[in-house]
Amino acid sequence: MQRDARARRDAFLGKIGSRAIVMGILNLTPDSFSDGGKFQQGQAALAQAKKMVAEGCDIVDVGGESTRPGATPVAETEELARIESILGKLAGALDVPLSIDTYKAAVARRAAVLGAILINDVWGLQHDPGMADAVAETETAVVIMHNRTQRDPAIDILSDIRGFFDRSLALAQAAGIPKERIILDPGVGFGKTSGQNVEAVARIGELRDYGLPVLIGVSRKSFLGSLVEVPVEDRLIATLAANLAAAASGAAIFRVHDVAEHVVALKVFGTIRDAGRK
C-alpha cells in the first residue's frame, strides 16, 4: 500500500468510535435493488460521489456487483471492467477514502491498487479462499459481514452470527490481518427472516465482546418495507429509525444511500446521548 493510501486508511480507522461514521453507497451496477443503473457511467458516478462527500460522508463504498439476495452473479472480468474506469478517478478526486464492496480476491486486489483502503466482503472472507490473503497483502482494512445461503427461522440468529464471525476471524488471524483493521457487520438483509433482521439490529450490543467496531447496513432494505409497508423509494424515515436504533445498540459505522439526512440525524443523536453521559 502506498504511503498516501496508508495515511487515509489509518485516518479513517482512527475516526471510528469518536462519532458516528457514515459510509455512502455508490453502486456501479444495473441491478442493485434501490439505485441500479443510475451511476454506471463515469460522470454520474463521480457526481454522486462528490455529492455524498459534500453531504458529509466519511467513506464511499463502491460496488461493481449487486449483492442483494437473488441477484445474478457477475463474472470477475465484468466486475473488474465496471470498477476499473471509475475507481481510480474517484480516488484522485475525493477528499475521503474508498472501499470496495466485493467478495472476490482479484477484484479486491485491483481495487486496492486503484486506491481502495477497505474491502467490504459480504461473505466475511469465507467465499473466496484467497480473500484473507488479499486483504493481508494489500494492507487494506476489511469488513467481515455475516451471511447465509438460505434463511432458517428456527435458528438463534445471534448464535449463528457469532459462529460465523469466529470462523472469519480465525481466517483473518491465519492470514496475518491485524485486529485493528477489522470491522464486523451482522449482515442485515442477508440470509435472515424479517424478524431475524430486527433481532440482529436490536442485539448489536452482544457483539461488543469482540472488541471490534460494528458496521450496519439497513438502508432501504426489504425488511423495513415489511414492517411499515412502504416501497423502496419511501423508506428513508424507516431507515433513519433503524439506524438510530442501531446507534443506540452500539453500531459505529452506517452504510447508507441518503447521506445528508443520516449525518444530521446521527449528529443530533450523538450529541444528546453524550450529554446524558456527563
Q: Active-site positions? A: 221, 255
Sheet containing strand 116-121, edge to edge, reads 182-185, 141-145, 116-121, 98-101, 59-63, 21-27, 253-256, 215-216
Distance of CA 148 to the CA centre of its chain: 17
DSSP letter assigned to residue 73: P
Q: Of 35, 85, 28, 38, which is closest to residue 60 (Cα–Cα)?
A: 28
In this structure, the number of other CB atoms found within 10 A of the CB of residue 51 comes to 13
Can you say whether the dihedral through the CA atoms of 270, 273, 276, 277 is positive or negative? negative
165 close to 212: Cβ distance less than 8 angstroms: no
What are the C-alpha distances in Å from 54 to residues 47, 99, 213, 225?
10, 18, 25, 29
**How far apart are alpha carbons 14 and 119 in whole angstroms?**
17
**How far apart are alpha carbons 161 and 149 in whole angstroms?**
13
Cell of 166: 469466529
